[in-house]
């Protein structure tokens, strides 16, 4: 039988340009389907008056408010917030880098300071705000202190890990060769610690932006957070929508910028960062070293109240705090309050964690779902959680629902209908002199 040459076999017809172009076009259009669908649903709801215009403003009203705000009022508030963020980042990153490097270089200093630092870091930044307001007032110092507290924690932890775990074998070789300290830091420590430091800066940027919005919502007369709470109190949710979009765009820009800076500075392969490992067990005198700093701070606190260096109405004595805690435990007020907060936290964790797990499973198993939902979820993630608070309180009030909604994720629920809204221009012009502090 004659051997058939491969060259004599008929070749398959090349695919048509339309068939080859359609999959590419559909893949590019797929991420836009969800936002377009949400916008169409929003437009239909406002057009058919499914909800009051004050509860759900029409897209045209939001656009008109955006145009009016962009003529100067929005940029002035945004500039003030960005200035506060810049100075907070400068102070917090500098302090965190110095403290983390010191703790990473000295094991003894780490044993003395790190347990106390880690314990204080577990207290959320928002829990410090009432105390900071008493100490520093509601001026610019309060915003700076809150930002520094939120930023210094991730930068310190990541810098500590990066410096302490910087190539142990190479550090041993440098010690054997008696490499000078300046050269050791320049050639070994800095390149090894830079990936962890940049990871800390990225987390610090998100934490600082969120904390700034929170403190501006609570105690400010200017800034992007104040603009939101001002509009919320007047039920001008069109302005709240505009500010939420602006906050999301700023978050995306900051995340992309720090990502590009990370790629530019860290261009070599490096292991995973930010793993806080437990060190060897303390022995003898080392077991007492972690207690020295908290005992010294407690003694200084008691001495300050005894000598009345600070007004007793501002800084009460540790014994008074202990007595109040004991009475709160006896009458059950402290336990009931903690149980209520823990119940809300657990409910939010179960709901948000369950939804997140199911959604992540769906995105991981289906490439189409990832293309369809992933970009929209990534964009929503850039909006700081406290940017949703004015909107949630306007829709659900100040009861348990806003807490439950903000704990897992912002979502839409059934809401009440207040009176109809006036035009954004007349409302804003009539209430411009208002200054409020929640």
CATH class of 56-275+288-306: mainly alpha
Q: Residue 375 pLDDT more than 60? A: yes
Q: Where is mean pLDDT largest: 18-32, 273-287, 288-302, 422-436?
A: 288-302
Q: Which residue has the higher pLDDT, 375 or 298?
A: 298
DSSP calls for 90-153? HHHHHHHHHHHHHHHH-HHHHHHHHHHHHHHHTS-HHHHHHHHHHHHTTSHHHHHHHHHHHHHH
Residue 106 φ then ψ, to 5°: -115, 115
- Percent of the chain at pLDDT above 70? 80
Rg (CA), the chain: 28
Q: What is the pTM of this model?
A: 0.79
Per-residue pLDDT band at 23 (split at 50, 70, 90):
low
User: What pLDDT is attached to residue 373?
Assistant: 86
Chain centroid, CA 49 distance in Å = 35
Q: What is the pLDDT of residues 157-204, one digit of tens each?
A: 999 988 887 766 676 777 777 777 777 777 778 888 888 899 999 999
- Domain locations along the chain: 56-275+288-306
Residues 388-416 have pLDDT tens digits of 887 777 777 766 555 555 544 433 333 33
Residue 400: the pLDDT is 55
> 103-134, pLDDT tens digit by residue?
988 888 988 999 999 999 999 888 898 889 88
Segment 60-73 shows an average pLDDT of: 88
**Token pair for residue 186?**
């320049």
Q: What residues contact residue 254 under an 8 Å CB cut-off, 6+ apart?
A: 205, 209
Distance CA 152, CA 241 (A): 31
- Better-predicted residue by pLDDT, 53 or 223: 223
Which CA distances in Å does 268 have to 192, 194, 263, 265, 427? 10, 11, 9, 9, 55
* Helix axis angle, 73-105 to 140-164, nearest 10°: 40
Q: Which of 126-135, 268-277, 324-333 has the lowest mean pLDDT?
A: 268-277
- Is 212 in contact with 85 (CB distance < 8 Å)? yes
């Amino acid at each position: 039988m004659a051997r058939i040459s491969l060259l004599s076999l008929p070749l398959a017809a090349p695919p048509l340009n339309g068939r080859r172009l359609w999959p590419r076009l559909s893949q590019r259009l797929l991420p836009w389907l969800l936002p377009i669908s949400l916008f169409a649903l929003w437009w239909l709801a406002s057009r058919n008056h499914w909800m009051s215009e004050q509860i759900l403003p029409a897209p045209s009203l939001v656009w008109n408010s955006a145009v009016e705000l962009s003529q100067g009022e929005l940029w002035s508030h945004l500039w003030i917030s960005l200035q506060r963020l810049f100075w907070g980042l400068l102070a917090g990153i500098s302090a965190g880098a110095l403290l983390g490097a010191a703790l990473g270089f000295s094991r003894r200093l780490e044993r003395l300071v790190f347990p106390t630092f880690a314990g204080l870091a577990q207290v959320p930044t928002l829990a410090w705000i009432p105390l900071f307001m008493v100490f520093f007032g509601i001026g610019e110092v309060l915003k700076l202190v809150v930002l520094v507290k939120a930023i210094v924690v991730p930068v310190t932890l990541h810098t500590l890990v990066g410096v302490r775990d910087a190539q142990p074998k190479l550090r041993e070789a440098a010690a054997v060769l008696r490499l000078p300290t300046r050269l050791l830091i320049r050639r070994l420590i800095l390149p090894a610690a830079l990936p962890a430091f940049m990871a800390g800066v990225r987390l610090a940027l998100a934490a600082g932006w969120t904390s700034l919005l929170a403190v501006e919502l609570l105690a400010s007369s200017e800034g992007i957070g104040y603009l939101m709470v001002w509009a919320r109190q007047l039920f001008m949710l069109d302005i709240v929508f505009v500010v939420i979009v602006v906050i999301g765009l700023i978050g995306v820009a900051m995340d992309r910028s720090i990502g590009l800076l990370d790629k530019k500075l860290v261009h070599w392969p490096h292991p995973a960062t930010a793993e806080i490992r437990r060190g060897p067990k303390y022995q003898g005198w080392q077991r007492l070293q972690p207690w020295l700093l908290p005992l010294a701070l407690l003694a200084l606190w008691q001495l300050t109240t005894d000598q009345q260096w600070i007004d007793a109405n501002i800084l009460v004595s540790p014994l008074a705090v202990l007595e109040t805690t004991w009475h709160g435990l006896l009458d059950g007020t402290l336990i009931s309050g903690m149980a209520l907060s823990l119940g809300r936290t657990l409910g939010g964790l179960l709901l948000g964690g369950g939804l997140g797990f199911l959604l992540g499973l769906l995105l991981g198993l289906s490439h189409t779902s990832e293309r369809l939902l992933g970009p929209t979820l990534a964009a929503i993630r850039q909006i700081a959680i406290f940017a949703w608070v004015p909107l949630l309180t306007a829709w659900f009030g100040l009861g348990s629902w806003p807490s439950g909604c903000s704990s897992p994720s912002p979502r839409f629920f059934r809401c009440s209908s207040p009176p109809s809204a006036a035009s954004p221009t007349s409302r804003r012009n009539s209430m411009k002199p208002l200054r409020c502090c929640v």
